[in-house]
Amino acid sequence: MRPLPMLAILLVAAECAGQESLDDLDKAGPAEAVTEVPKSPTAEVNGYLSNRLTGTWVSTSGPVPTRDVPSLQDLLEANVQLKVRLGKSAFAYGDLSLLLQGGWLYYRDDGAGGRERVGEHDVSSLHPLVAPSELYLSWSPASWLNLAAGKKRIVWGSGFAFNPTDLVNPPKDPTDPSFQRAGAFLARVELPFEKLTVSALFVPQVLYEKSGLPYAMFKYSDYPVDGQKPPDDQFHYLVAARLYALVYDADINLIYYFSNRFRDGFENKSRFGASFSRYFFTDYELHVDALFQTGSARSYPNHACVAAGQGPGSPDCAIPTRDAASASKLDDSAIYPRLLVGGRTMFKDESSLSIEYYYQADGFSDGEFEDAIRGLLAAKALLDQGLIVPGAGGGASGGAAPAKFSFDPLRRHYLIISYTKPKIRDDWAVGMVMIAGLQDLSGLLSPSVSWNVREWLTLSLTGFVPVRGIPVGQVKVGEESYSEYALLPFDARVLFEARAFY
């Protein structure tokens, strides 16, 4: 944006502050109920400046390569959230972050039970990034009709830490569900009525992007990009229809998805989602968030390629990097539901507790998980030998800010518990999040303490500790036993964040 219009918007925004009457507010605030309609665009600006310093005790002995995992990392984020009202019925909204990152001190497995230092090197995930979490235009030509187009996060599921029904957005971080605000490029038509809403969504897939900004979506170009031939000539998209209804004091969503090669291998695929949320006995919220589909687009290890005694060179494993895993259940006719059931309550001391159970039918069985570990160990060996180049291929990140923790469940049963107690001393709050894989009782504990130093400044300290030592349900590969959270490439991580709002 050129300096002059930007300055004009900021000046208007400054005028919006300090309202003392409704007439002041009518010039800038939420429209509709107010009789006076602003004649020129008005803007509201807020945002924050944040610095996240992370210290990680890297675990090099696991099956996941650690060459690109920094022991010390710093991330500086400048965020601006700008809402420009365009008359009574339209507005433009942007939620943009500029991220500067740095990583230092890298280690890897030395092959003799210890670790060795890796020299400072370029890590693509640490490059500077523009993260346009949202950037869209919303227009309500009638009170019963809303049109939106651009990049927007739309969440229909009721899950608190995780939403199985969400096929569109970058996933939440269960240790801090409010952290992920990034959406997807889409067009939406919505008809809100008093007790029900009907929505239709079209989401083209972003195929190429640079520094968080997309430059190809929906269909690959016919010519090579960055020296790579277009992988296919199909249209990559998702359409969705959703019905929301408030029935007997419950929020109910019914969703139908149809997609073609949208971030997975499914072609012309139908999926169904449903969510429910309601308070029972005054203080106890119960929610269900479920997705139903036939087959699975998940990559499963090829047993013939990774099993002991076979491997590279066997008839089913001519090229290990290609044949070690495939979406082998893509055309399976069995139904693989993903279901999250949870509850939430706030106690009299204002502490709050959320408990959620998540089941995914297409998660790895014990045998598949064992094969996956073998595959990872083989890949790690290839990486150490230089046969796989880390970061090759890349791929769209969705233009999202890096998460503190990515929840990418591999197996079938999970429990996510989150407890927060505010005001342990006025502005101090403590919290604890536990993510537990119920098949091998491994998991992650994330304690946190935060201090609202001022109305505009929050300091927080968060820990991440994998729990992987409980010898239940682990799989044995060679002499080692592995659990799901043994795959995390660190023994402990501490994150200190300072966030100043404006």
Partner 1 sequence: MNNLMENAMRRSIILGVAALLGQAAPVAAAEPTAAEILKKYDDTMSPKTFDALVVMIAHRQDDTTRTYKFRVMKGHDDKIRLWFFEPASAKGQEMLRVGENMWVYMPSLKRAVRIASRDSFQGGDFNNADALRVNYVADYTPVLGDSGDPKSYLLDLSAKSKDAAYDKVKLWFRKGDLMPEKAEYYAASGKMIRSMKFTDVKDFRGLRRPAHLEMKNELAQKRWSEMTWLDMKLNVEVPAQRFVVDDLGR
**Interface contacts to partner 1, rule CB under 8 A:** 19-23, 25, 29-30, 32-34, 44, 46, 48, 81, 91, 134, 138, 140, 143-144, 146, 153-155, 160, 177-179, 181, 183, 190, 192-194, 197, 199, 244, 246, 249, 251, 277-279, 281-283, 285, 345-346, 350, 422-423, 425-427, 452, 455-456, 458, 501-502
* Residue placing its CB nearer to partner 1 in the complex, 334 or 461: 461
Q: Which is nearer to partner 1, 61 or 81 (CB)?
A: 81
Distance, in Å, from the CA atom of 426 to the CA atom of 408, rounded to the nearest integer, reads 36
CA dihedral 430, 491, 97, 87 (to 10 degrees): -50
Taking the complex as a whole, the smallest distance from the CB of residue 216 to partner 1 amounts, in Å, to: 26
One-character DSSP codes across 333-378? -SB--EEEEEEEEE-TTS-EEEEEEEEETTS--HHHHHHHHHHHHH
Q: Are 301 and 372 spatial neighbours (Cβ–Cβ below 8 Å)? A: yes
The two structure tokens encoding residue 478: 């060679």
Min dist. Cβ of residue 388 to partner 1 (A): 37
Nearer Cβ to partner 1 (223/248): 248
Task: Quote the least distance from Cβ 222 to partner 1, whole Å.
Answer: 36
Nearer of residues 81 and 125 to partner 1, judged by Cβ? 81
One-letter amino acid of 383: L
Between CA 81 and CA 222 the distance in angstroms is 36
CB of 41 to partner 1, least distance (A): 16
CA angle 50, 176, 353 (to 5 degrees): 135
Take residue 252 and report the two structure tokens written for it.
């109910």
Q: Output b/e per residue, 453-478; b: 16+ Cβ within 10 A.
A: eeeeebbbebebbbbbeeeebbbebe
How far, in whole angstroms, is CA 386 from its chain's centroid? 31
Alpha-carbon distance 328 to 451, whole Å?
Answer: 49
Q: State phi, psi for 369 to the nearest 5 degrees.
A: -65, -40
Compare residues 273 and 375 and give the one whose CB is closer to partner 1. 273
Residue (178 or 333) nearer to partner 1, CB: 178
C-beta of 425: minimal distance to partner 1 in Å? Answer: 8
Minimum gap (Å) between residue 33 Cβ and partner 1: 4
Nearest distance from C-beta of residue 12 to partner 1, angstroms: 15
The secondary structure of 303-323 as a DSSP string is HHHHSTT--TTSTT-SSHHHH
* Closest approach of partner 1 to the CB of residue 32, in Å: 6
Distance in angstroms (rounded) separating the CA atoms of residues 95 and 172:
17
Give the nearer residue to partner 1 in terms of CB position, either 25 or 318: 25
Q: How far is the CB of 47 from partner 1 (least distance, A)?
A: 8
* Min CB(240)–partner 1 separation in Å: 14
* Nearest residue to 133 via CA among 408, 398, 502: 398
For partner 1, the closer of residues 143 and 228 by Cβ is 143
Q: Which is nearer to partner 1, 107 or 244 (CB)?
A: 244
Asked if residues 462 and 494 have their Cβ atoms less than 8 Å apart, the reply is: yes
Alpha-carbon span 117 to 179, nearest angstrom:
32
Q: Which two tokens stand for residue 236?
A: 């990559």
How do beta strands 129-142 and 90-109 pair? antiparallel
In the structure encoding, which two tokens stand for residue 137, read together? 């235009």
